[in-house]
Structure 1
């Protein structure tokens, strides 16, 4: 769903990358490594600390949001749904735009899949990351829909 929404948003701009780029403040470190390697599709971080990555994504995501979107109580990443939001720089297209969000979500998912989960404590840590990932995915889908 998120990939389809991203595709539609980029298609509305005729797939041109003329709308700037997303902010890089608090960018997840693994993404910085990928960018530094010219977005090599085969490159992966040697060992992704998924808990740290999810916190970095959370900070980055919140930093990208327009004014008026506030943290929802008891949520990891979900922000308030506000009418009439000016999405501004979040509408950035091309490889420096919202495609970066899709890539970050893909890396996060890969990291979760690779997490050990044979012991109870490992399963608990993995379940927490799955829950956070699903919440983040819902939040991104909401924003992509709102920008359509």
Structure 2
């Protein structure tokens, strides 16, 4: 464990990282992530246990950036202590969150069971994820020519992030959990197309987390 927190990985740093490469199957020992993940001592138990649960498998430097961004965001939001908001289980068009997340939440977010929920079918999970994630995006977000959400825009103070401004145990943590379980399933399949699709989602989530964090900066 390093003596202090690692420097925050900015979006520009993330974009400069190497492409995700094939890693050993989850059953084999994995090296520590290339970006150190440090949870502040003052962080609540739910964040410490969740980070531990969602880093059991090393998914590479891009995913490590997601977890690091989550920790910085929750720290800036004071871990949701003054806010009982929660990320919606369903949003526009009654788009529900993926079932694997409901199972993780029922299991105490890794505290009640040693067994993690598994994405049994990427063909089922990915459309669930896309629908839930897309439904939560604020109206001002734009897509690029490839149909992906743009992550090349500078953050604006006047942006309203809507329902994603939900912090604490019932907040944006669920998004990180979804990316993690998706990544574990992709890692086990060694499929380049699935890996690329997951990595695009990872970079989009980092951009959103950093954007949410920017709202706390003066």
TM-score class, shorter: 0.7 to 0.9
Structure 1 pair 19–5 and aligned structure 2 pair: CA distance change class (3 A): farther
1:13 to 52, 77, 102: 77
Tell me, in whole angstroms, the C-alpha distance in 2 between the residues paired with 1:52 and 1:35.
Answer: 19
User: How far off is 1:35 after superposition?
Assistant: 1.7
Deviations 1:58-104 (A, max 9, x none): 111111111122443323xx324565421122121112111111111
Determine which structure has the larger helix proportion and give its number: 1
Tell me, in whole angstroms, the C-alpha distance in 2 between the residues paired with 1:47 and 1:140.
Answer: 19
1:51 to 123, 130, 139: 123
Structure 1 residue 112 corresponds to structure 2 residue 167 = no
Tell me, in whole angstroms, the C-alpha distance in 2 between the residues paired with 1:68 and 1:38.
Answer: 34
User: How far off is 1:47 after superposition?
Assistant: 5.6
What is the DSSP-based 3-state SS (H/G/I as helix, E as strand, rest coil) of the residue aligned with 2:79?
Answer: coil
Q: 1:54, 1:129 within 8 Å by CA — same for their partners in 2?
A: no
Instruction: Name 1:74's counterpart in structure 2.
Output: 146
2:166 to 74, 92, 95: 92
Query: Following superposition of structure 1 onto structure 2, how do residues 108-147 of structure 1 map, counting pairs within 5 Å?
Result: 108-115=182-189, 117=190, 126-147=191-212
Q: Which runs of 5+ in 2 are unaligned?
A: 1-64, 91-95, 214-218
User: How far off is 1:141 after superposition?
Assistant: 1.1
User: How far off is 1:144 after superposition?
Assistant: 1.3
Tell me, in whole angstroms, the C-alpha distance in 1 between the residues paired with 2:144 and 2:106.
Answer: 34
Structure number with larger C-alpha Rg:
2
Q: 1:22, 1:90 within 8 Å by CA — same for their partners in 2?
A: yes
What is the DSSP-based 3-state SS (H/G/I as helix, E as strand, rest coil) of the residue aligned with 2:78?
Answer: coil
Q: 1:51, 1:129 within 8 Å by CA — same for their partners in 2?
A: no
Q: Which runs of 5+ in 1 are unaligned?
A: 118-125
Number of corresponding residues: 137
TM-score by length of 2: 0.56
User: How far off is 1:21 after superposition?
Assistant: 0.8
